[in-house]
């Protein structure tokens, strides 16, 4: 699985003009299941993100994890993270998992974030979503599992 995480002071996601997920301090997590990914990949990636120390401690050093700062997660499915731009100017997405598998692994990822003790809001798998965020730092990190 792939994820692009952004440390945020706030973020929200809307579908058809209606906000369906909203957080304050925490992480906006754009996540993509890839062909061949398993539930283990989803759980491993979620656990890694939950423990990732990218929030400032009292000295300003990135030394605290999401739970340490009582942060929240907003998880949004993002199949375009599978984009292959190696041929031409039009990206291909054949490396993304099939929709049924992608949705299942997205749900496993969300469940694992919650198991890790993280308050988690979500987008809507497969929907046309509008995501708003205030990137804190900015801190943006690419992860794979």
Is residue 78 flagged as an active site residue?
yes
Task: Please pick, among 79, 109, 116, 122, the residue that the annotation labels catalytic.
Answer: 79
Listed as own residue / partner, the contacts of 13-17 with beta carbons closer than 8 Å and 24 or more positions apart are 13/74, 13/76, 13/121, 13/122, 13/123, 13/124, 13/129, 13/130, 13/131, 13/132, 14/129, 14/130, 14/132, 15/123, 15/124, 15/127, 15/128, 15/129, 15/130
Tokens of 6: 């952004």
Task: Please pick, among 19, 35, 38, 80, the residue that the annotation labels catalytic.
Answer: 80
Task: Please pick, among 6, 55, 72, 78, the residue that the annotation labels catalytic.
Answer: 78
Catalytic residue numbers read 78-80
């Amino acid at each position: 699985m792939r994820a692009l995480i952004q440390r945020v002071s706030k973020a929200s996601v809307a579908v058809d003009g209606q906000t369906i997920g909203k957080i304050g301090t925490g992480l906006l997590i754009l996540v993509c299941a890839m062909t061949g990914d398993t539930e283990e990949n989803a759980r491993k990636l979620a656990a890694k993100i939950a423990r990732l120390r990218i929030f400032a401690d009292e000295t300003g050093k990135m030394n605290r994890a999401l739970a340490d700062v009582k942060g929240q997660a907003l998880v949004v499915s993002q199949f375009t993270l599978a984009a292959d731009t190696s041929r031409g100017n039009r990206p291909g997405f054949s490396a993304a998992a099939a929709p049924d598998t992608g949705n299942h692994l997205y749900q496993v990822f969300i469940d694992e974030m919650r198991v890790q003790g993280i308050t988690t809001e979500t987008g809507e798998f497969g929907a046309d979503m509008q995501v708003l965020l205030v990137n804190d730092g900015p801190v943006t990190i690419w992860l794979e599992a």
